[in-house]
Amino acid sequence: MCITVHYVFTYLYAMLRVSVFFKKYESEGKQIE
């Protein structure tokens, strides 16, 4: 069970980082235009 829980938390953390990265990328892209 510990391995499954660790995998879920790692996945959620990765998704959070990706969402934040895309938000920053979109904001920078709008500023460039």
What is the per-residue pLDDT across 1-33, written as a single tens digit (0 to 9) for each? 678 999 999 999 999 999 999 998 888 777 765
Alpha helices in the chain (DSSP H): 2-32
CA distance 13 to 6: 11
Cα–Cα separations (whole angstroms), residue 21 to 4, 14, 17: 26, 10, 6
**What pLDDT is attached to residue 5?**
92
pLDDT at 32: 60
Res 29: pLDDT: 73
Full residue range of the structural domain in which residue 17 is found: 1-33
Q: Of 27, 7, 3, 26, give the one whose Cα is nearest residue 15.
A: 7
**What is the per-residue pLDDT for 1?**
63
* Token pair belonging to 7: 């995998």
**pLDDT value of residue 14:** 97
Q: Name the pTM for this structure.
A: 0.57
The whole-number pLDDT of residue 33 equals: 58
Tally of domains in the chain: 1
